[in-house]
Amino acid sequence: MALETILLEAEEKMQKSEDVVVHEFSGIRTGRASAGLVENIQVEVYGSHMRIRELAGITIPEPRMLLIQPWDASTVHPIEKAIQKSNLGLNPAVDKKCIRIVLPELSTERRHEFMKVVKKMAEDGRVAVRHVRRDAIEAMKKDEKSGGVTEDELESSEKEVQKLTDQFVAKIDGHLAHKEKEIMTV
């Protein structure tokens, strides 16, 4: 495999790791309402498990309120039960054919718990990026042993992979800092 191909694959995988971290961050509560908070909750309906976003429209009529409008009225109560079981500390209120969720103000203790969760998610993302780096370097060394690459090419490619790794770790750290600020501001 060519070194350029290995570098491109590594960059793609690192980008996916960053995207996963950003998506996970969207599910963590801040003081404001966000559809990401509930959209991936699994609901048992029609004999299978589906995400809320596949069953309903999610809107934010006020800064601290979510409005979930199921497309099928028979799914209102299963969605309500799934939200209650989700351990997000949300209390859904059924209002005819829709569900309203008013987000309570976060206590300082709860904010600190969210900070720990967010930091762990960021660290998992960094670890995933480092795994991609390790795999890319192993693939490059394999290429060198097979005689397709010189030592100098290998060394410069390893530096390139390290540069990519540093970039994506810095991006994840930036997302973490932004999320921490979001969580801690009232």
37-94 pLDDT, tens digit each: 788 888 998 889 898 889 899 998 888 888 999 998 888 899 999 888 876 777 888 9
pLDDT at position 153 is 87
At 170, give phi and psi (nearest 5°): -65, -40
What average pLDDT does range 151-178 have in this prediction?
92
The pairing of strands 98-102 and 65-70 is: antiparallel
C-alpha dihedral sign at 117, 122, 125, 126? negative
Q: What is the DSSP letter of 170?
A: H
Multiple choice CATH, 3-26+107-184, 1.10.132.20, 3.40.50.150, 1.10.3720.10, 3.40.50.300: 1.10.132.20
DSSP string, 67-116: EEEESSGGGHHHHHHHHHHTTS---EEEETTEEEEEPPPPPHHHHHHHHH
Look up residue 30 and give its amino acid.
T
- pTM listed for this prediction: 0.69
Calpha distance 154→144 (Å, rounded): 7
pLDDT digits (tens, 9 = 90+) for 88-146: 777 888 988 899 988 877 788 878 888 888 899 899 999 999 999 999 999 988 888 88
Q: Where are the domains of the chain?
A: 3-26+107-184, 35-102
Under the banding of pLDDT at 50, 70 and 90, the label for residue 154 is confident
Tell me how far apart the alpha carbons of residues 170 and 135 are, in angstroms, rounded to a whole number.
20
Residue 125 class from Cβ within 10 Å (0-12 exposed, 13-18 middle, 19+ buried)?
Answer: buried
CATH number of the domain at 35-102, out of 3.10.450.50, 3.30.1360.40, 1.10.10.60, 3.90.850.10?
3.30.1360.40
What integer pLDDT is reported at residue 127 of this predicted model?
95
Tokens of 138: 């192993």
Taking CA atoms, 42 is separated from 96, 107, 133, in Å, by: 22, 27, 33
